[in-house]
Amino acid sequence: MASTEEILHDFSPFFRVLKCGRVDRLIGNVTVPASVDPATGVRSKDVIINAESGVSARLYLPKSIDTGHKLPLFVYIHGGAFVIDTAFSPLYHTFLNNLAAEANIIVVSVDYRRAPEHPLPIAYEDSWDAILWAASHSSGNGQEAWLNEYADFQSVFFSGDSAGANIAHNMAMLAGSEKVEGMHVEGIVLVHPFFWGKTPVGGEPADPESRAFCEKLWLYANPGSSGIDDPLVNPGADLKIWSLGCKRVLVFVAEKDSLRHRGIYYKELLENSGWGGKVEFVENKDEDHVFFLFNPTSNNAVSLVRSVASFINEGKTE
């Protein structure tokens, strides 16, 4: 008789699924509480967005607040292959403290429900729920004082890394078709986005074995998907890509990242789609996937944070 401890699916180094159905998350399990960050003075607190679903978020407010000027609102969606990590991970907590201080923004970091217990498209639905919740404060009468008092709902950005960047893109697509009352989405920031497709692009490997991991991961997280050319994971298959609901996009790729070519392809896709917005592109040399989370004090990580801050505040005057 086979042991129930036998591995059914191995997505190492991220997670494994055992025959008994248990999901062993190998990384991304550590969390830290909201706090006042001693290095930046940024304050954070946790809020419940939907008591029924359990969707929540961590809010970040910078130390320097001018009551006469609202702050750009940055909705961040964490990565982790749709399965690991949370908005309360120390990696994201450090990154968003640094970014909130550098850019002088208010951040809503979304904690969506994760696959496989909650298969896609639930993470997309939860993220959209969080965006609508944030927008409900645009009149100044929402449940969270920080958003009521300090958020500029005419200067909103969606962002994420890896799987979170995938979700952020799809949130911008939704914003293009379902206008959010009281909220203007100025731009999106996609860091090492998880996109894929059946046909290789750029310098991607063509052999099925090399391509199998991403396809298997996608179908495991989203078992109801039409496949790896589902527009949710392959924007090139989306006939309405031109309707992306913002006018500015910033895309980061890392030279050693296997997803690098998809980020380049996404940039070129937008430029040639008839969308009409502006795409900015940054490649970090000698770096791998989400390096900025694991080494936040490195020169390239500091540069990435500054680039995001500059993008958010482009055109603003002191």
Superfamily of domain 31-312: Alpha/Beta hydrolase fold, catalytic domain (3.40.50.1820)
Active site residue 152: no
Evaluate whether 42 touches 62 at the Cβ level (below 8 Å). Answer: yes
Active site residue 257: yes
pLDDT band at 315 (very low <50, low <70, confident <90, very high): low
Q: Which residues, in sequence order, are bridge partners of residue 12?
A: none
Tens-place pLDDT, residues 151-199: 999 999 999 999 999 999 999 999 999 989 999 999 999 999 999 999 9
Q: Which of 162, 192, 238, 273 is catalytic?
A: 162
Structural domain spans, the chain: 1-29, 31-312
Q: Which of 93, 137, 192, 289 is catalytic?
A: 289
Q: Which of 111, 159, 257, 273 is catalytic?
A: 257
pTM of the model: 0.96
The C-alpha torsion from 144 through 150 and 153 to 156, rounded to 10°, is -100
Active site residue 192: no
First to last CA, the chain: 70
- The region of weakest confidence among 12-16, 143-147, 289-293 is 12-16
233 closest CA partner among 214, 257, 256, 207: 214
Tens-place pLDDT, residues 87-122: 999 999 999 999 999 999 999 999 999 999 999 999
